[in-house]
A and B are shown apart, each in its own frame.
Chain A
Amino acid sequence: KNEVEQSPQNLTAQEGEFITINCSYSVGISALHWLQQHPGGGIVSLFMLSSGKKKHGRLIATINIQEKHSSLHITASHPRDSAVYICAAGTSYGKLTFGQGTILTVHP
């Protein structure tokens, strides 16, 4: 069993739909990271959180430390949101253990 598990692995949505990607982890963490990998391959950090909830534009990330679970939500999804979304458990000094990623495709 991987230390960081994401679901679903693939997600297809219609423009405007509310999207949820889930992440469960089994390691102790300093922070849980959500990253976006663009079709061109670049990786961008979206959120880093250790408790509660963070919001940036249409993106919301939540974490439940007791249950070792985090979710990434996208409201009013748009085709430009199509990408691979990766959660990663950040342990001491920032070493990241990555999930396998969720491939999101949003159709117009």
Chain B
Amino acid sequence: GAGVSQSPRYKVTKRGQDVALRCDPISGHVSLYWYRQALGQGPEFLTYFNYEAQQDKSGLPNDRFSAERPEGSISTLTIQRTEQRDSAMYRCASSLQRGDTDTQYFGPGTRLTVL
């Protein structure tokens, strides 16, 4: 079946613009995670959803970042008033149940460049 998909794959935006990044998890997967990966670094956790409930948003860097998963499937990560330091690869992952007992499947990522 289809894996985790993300769109767009690449996004170039000007500083100050808002961007919305989409994640389409594997069908039926309950848990959804957003991570951010700077060039040459390991990923870092942003936020976690269990169905539609955002149960941990401790990794979101500031209040310009928000995420939603209104129907427990597709999720959107929104960055308002983008800054150059927001440039990174944004990945989502999903797992069938809780990720501590199930494998996480990663999407291909969205490469965000803020000029």
Q: List 5 A-B contacts (CB under 8 A).
A: A45-B106, A94-B31, A94-B48, A94-B100, A94-B102
Choose the segment among A12-20, A51-59, A60-68, A98-106 that binds chain B (4+ C-beta atoms closer than 8 Å): A98-106
Q: Within 8 Å of chain B (Cβ to Cβ): is A74? A: no
Say yes or no: B100 contacts A90, CB within 8 Å: yes
Interface size on A, residues (CB 8 A): 25
Residues of A in contact with B (beta carbons under 8 Å apart): 4, 30-31, 33, 35, 41-45, 48, 86, 88, 90-101
Which residues of the partner chain B approach A44 to less than 8 Å between Cβ atoms?
A: 106
Which residues of the partner chain B approach A91 to less than 8 Å between Cβ atoms?
A: 100
Q: Within 8 Å of chain A (Cβ to Cβ): is B95? A: yes
Which residues of the partner chain A approach B104 to less than 8 Å between Cβ atoms?
A: 33, 45, 94, 96
Q: Within 8 Å of chain A (Cβ to Cβ): is B51? A: no
Complex: how many Å from CA A45 to CA B95?
11
